[in-house]
Structure 1
Amino acid sequence: MSGSGTFAFTVHPRARLGEDLARLWKPLRHLPEAFYDTALRRLPLPPVTMAAVRIGGESVGHVVLVPFGARHLLADIEGGRRRVGLAVDRAVALGADVVGLGALTATVTAGGATLRERTDIGVTNGNAFTAAIVEDQIRMLLPRVAERAGRPHIAVVGASGSVGTAVTKLLARDPAGTRLTLIARTAPRVNALAASVAADVEVSVAHTIDAVVDADLVVLLTASADALLGAEHVAPGAVVIDATQPRNTSPRLAVDRPDVLVVDGGIVSIPSLRIMGGDIGLPDGRSYACFAETAILALTGHTGHFAVGNPTLDQVDEIRERAYALRHLGFHAAEPSSFGRPVSLEPRTAVIA
């Protein structure tokens, strides 16, 4: 990795504030949630350099915590943007060449678009590699789906978003006998997306999550609280890829519908990855694809912004090429898991270990 750069990656507390903040200091786990909610909303807390990142035995980056929870970021977009901006300042101070926007830090900055004018650091939302890895997972699961469905019906929830748009275009580029239902609340955008791929793949449009009821494979790409996938939504024997953070499926789905397989989406294998002094919610050796994209860009010497707003298919192809150059370190779709537990796939069955 000689000559490569370094990176920073921004994260934030998710649904359980105490649980996430306890990764910084274990006693924080014992305070009531209401305390964290009030403190994060009202206090001008600075960003925290919560962990160092090592890959291939070398120090290559940092994880920077934005002290604003998922609910806070969605409820106060401007406040969230200010806090993300401070976290990017921290990344610059750490000497990072590129900063990746994790989870809702990408959402509140319009996929990094509000940071486009910054020239002191490259910015990426990680969505190009996320789209690539989700496509890889879809194609990995298609044989299992086709075994029961013949001609697989794929529903993409959040299709008009940054990752959803790219995944839709990737599937249309090589439809492999599938048909698509694109689901999004923003009718003009999803209608325009459907029209742009209609010559390549059979496609329909819907605006509520109820439309997944006939789908063989459901791809969740939106963190909207209005799109929480429940047991009543999915077809018998369906497969769900949940690539959302915070995730839009409940562990209860696996209990209430044992016939449905929920696969953790956008997970990348980097065997030598170690997060020193904290974690990103995954075990050593695994990362989210948005994190992996940031690392790939730094380790291959990229400068300037990369995926800001909606990634193009050219950017998806480029990040795949860069990942291939780092294949000795991994940077490919991880073996499938469901709520963090390994899954052994067979055409007719899937066994959760």
Structure 2
Amino acid sequence: MSGTGTFGFTVHPRARLREDLARAWRPLGLVPESVYDAALRRLPLPPVTMAGVQIGGERVGHIVLVPFGARHLLSDIEGGRRRVSRAVDRAAALGADVVGLGALTATVTAGGATLRGRSDIGVTNGNAFTAAIVEDQIRMLLPHVSARATRAHIAIVGASGSVGTAVTKLLARDPAEARLTLIARTAPRLEALAASVAGDVDVTVALSIDAVRDADLVVLLTASADTILGPDHLAPGAVVLDATQPRNTSPALATARPDVLVVDGGIVSIPSLRLSGGEIGLPDGRSYACFAETAILALTGHRGHFSIGNPTLDQIDHIRDLAVELAHLGFHAAAPTSFGAPVVLERRATVIA
């Protein structure tokens, strides 16, 4: 892989600050949660080079930790943007050609739009490959869902967001045997998205997560610092694809609803992937799709920005083509897991309404 570029990838502590900061340095797990909450809010902490990245046995990138928790990022957007910008400075100083925005570091920068003016480093939010992998997973799961009608019902939560919009358009471009309910909090963008695909797929919209109650497959793509999907929201035998970080489901859901299958979304297989010095909550050989997009761009010599704001279908097709070039390294949807544990997909009972 000599002659290709290197990358940085920004992450942040998620819901449990102590647990996530201990991934960067184990002794940090000894500090009380309340101390971290106060410190991250009040102190101008610098970004931390958390881990080195190896793929194919070569050092190809760095993980840079933004010292701001998920709730902090969502409650102080301007403060979050400043901290993300400093983390991008760190990635550039490390020699990265491109930087990927992980989890809510993409959300607070408007999908990277606030960093568009940078010419020293390329920026991507990773949403093009995330949309591609989520589409692959949806089509993989559809034969295994229990349908309450003649066609499966897919509910996409966070449909008007960057990934949700792209996934909706992908499903409409090559229509699946399913009907869609698009769910988001604000109507205008949601209704415009539905209107743009209405000629290709059966689609309705809703403003409340309660609309997932009769869905066979629920796809979670919304940015939140907290769990938003509870056991009372779901139909019997529903399948949930949670492609959010921080994730919007809890292991308690699987305990309360053993009939429901929760599948980890947006996970990519890169068998030779190793992190040195820290970890991001996934085992060796697996990454989030936004991370994988950044790696793909660097390993294929991309320069400049890529996915900023909403990815286009052309960008999604292009990143898929680049992933095919790197097929010897993996870069495809990982085998399905549920809260990290492998699952075997079986045909679930079909109920005809």
**Pairwise TM-score range, normalised by the shorter structure:** over 0.9
CA shift, 1:146, in A, is: 5.8
Q: CA RMSD in A?
A: 1.2
CA shift, 1:148, in A, is: 6.5
CA shift, 1:29, in A, is: 1.0
CA shift, 1:124, in A, is: 0.1
Amino acid corresponding to residue 67 of structure 2 in structure 1: P
Aligned residue for 2:169? 169
Aligned residue for 1:160? 160
Alpha-carbon distance in 2 for matches of 1:283, 1:25:
17
Aligned residue for 1:179? 179
Aligned residue for 2:117? 117
Aligned residue for 2:85? 85
Q: Is the 8 A contact 1:148 1:348 kept in 2?
A: no
CA shift, 1:223, in A, is: 2.4
- Map 1:126-145 onto structure 2 (within 5 A): 126-145=126-145
Alpha-carbon distance in 2 for matches of 1:104, 1:348:
34
Unaligned runs of 5+ in 1: none
Amino acid corresponding to residue 108 of structure 2 in structure 1: V
Query: In the alignment, does 2:99 pair up with 1:99?
Result: yes
Alpha-carbon distance in 2 for matches of 1:171, 1:43:
45
CA shift, 1:26, in A, is: 1.6
Alpha-carbon distance in 1 for matches of 2:69, 2:84:
12
Alpha-carbon distance in 1 for matches of 2:137, 2:225:
24
CA shift, 1:348, in A, is: 2.6
Query: In the alignment, does 2:258 pair up with 1:258?
Result: yes
Return the TM-score normalized by structure 2.
Answer: 0.97
Task: State the Cα deviation string for residues 200-236 of structure 1 (Å, max 9, x = none).
Answer: 0000000010000010000000023587000000110
Secondary structure of 2:24's aligned partner = coil
Secondary structure of 1:345's aligned partner = coil
Query: In the alignment, does 2:303 pair up with 1:336?
Result: no
Alpha-carbon distance in 2 for matches of 1:227, 1:182:
19
CA shift, 1:175, in A, is: 1.5
Task: State the Cα deviation string for residues 52-77 of structure 1 (Å, max 9, x = none).
Answer: 00000000000000000101100100
Aligned residue for 1:10? 10
Q: Is the 8 A contact 1:187 1:207 kept in 2?
A: yes
Aligned residue for 2:207? 207
Q: Is the 8 A contact 2:15 2:225 kept in 1?
A: no
Alpha-carbon distance in 1 for matches of 2:263, 2:55:
26
Amino acid corresponding to residue 253 of structure 1 in structure 2: L
Deviates more, 1:150-159 or 1:139-148: 139-148
Give percent identity, aligned residues only. Answer: 81
Task: State the Cα deviation string for residues 146-175 of structure 1 (Å, max 9, x = none).
Answer: 667541110000000000000000001111
Query: In the alignment, does 2:24 pair up with 1:21?
Result: no
Task: State the Cα deviation string for residues 41-92 of structure 1 (Å, max 9, x = none).
Answer: 1111100001000000000000000000101100100000000000000011
Check 1:33–1:142 CA distance in 2 against 1; reply closer, same or farther (3 A cut): same
CA shift, 1:2, in A, is: 2.6
- Map 1:278-317 onto structure 2 (within 5 A): 278-317=278-317
Q: Is the 8 A contact 1:209 1:227 kept in 2?
A: no
Q: Is the 8 A contact 1:182 1:190 kept in 2?
A: yes
Alpha-carbon distance in 2 for matches of 1:48, 1:168:
36
Q: Is the 8 A contact 1:84 1:105 kept in 2?
A: yes
Q: Is the 8 A contact 1:73 1:104 kept in 2?
A: yes
Deviates more, 1:44-53 or 1:137-146: 137-146
Unaligned runs of 5+ in 2: none
Alpha-carbon distance in 1 for matches of 2:282, 2:326:
21
Alpha-carbon distance in 2 for matches of 1:258, 1:149:
22
Alpha-carbon distance in 2 for matches of 1:8, 1:149:
46
Alpha-carbon distance in 2 for matches of 1:12, 1:227:
17
Amino acid corresponding to residue 197 of structure 1 in structure 2: V
Amino acid corresponding to residue 316 of structure 2 in structure 1: V
Alpha-carbon distance in 2 for matches of 1:24, 1:304:
29
Task: State the Cα deviation string for residues 303-324 of structure 1 (Å, max 9, x = none).
Answer: 1000000000000000000000
Amino acid corresponding to residue 9 of structure 2 in structure 1: F
- Map 1:257-276 onto structure 2 (within 5 A): 257-276=257-276
Aligned residue for 2:48? 48
CA shift, 1:186, in A, is: 1.3
CA shift, 1:28, in A, is: 1.5
Check 1:225–1:285 CA distance in 2 against 1; reply closer, same or farther (3 A cut): closer
Aligned residue for 1:243? 243
Q: Is the 8 A contact 2:225 2:246 kept in 1?
A: no
Q: Is the 8 A contact 1:7 1:97 kept in 2?
A: yes
Q: Is the 8 A contact 2:155 2:182 kept in 1?
A: yes
Q: Is the 8 A contact 2:227 2:250 kept in 1?
A: no
Q: Is the 8 A contact 1:154 1:181 kept in 2?
A: yes
Amino acid corresponding to residue 287 of structure 2 in structure 1: S
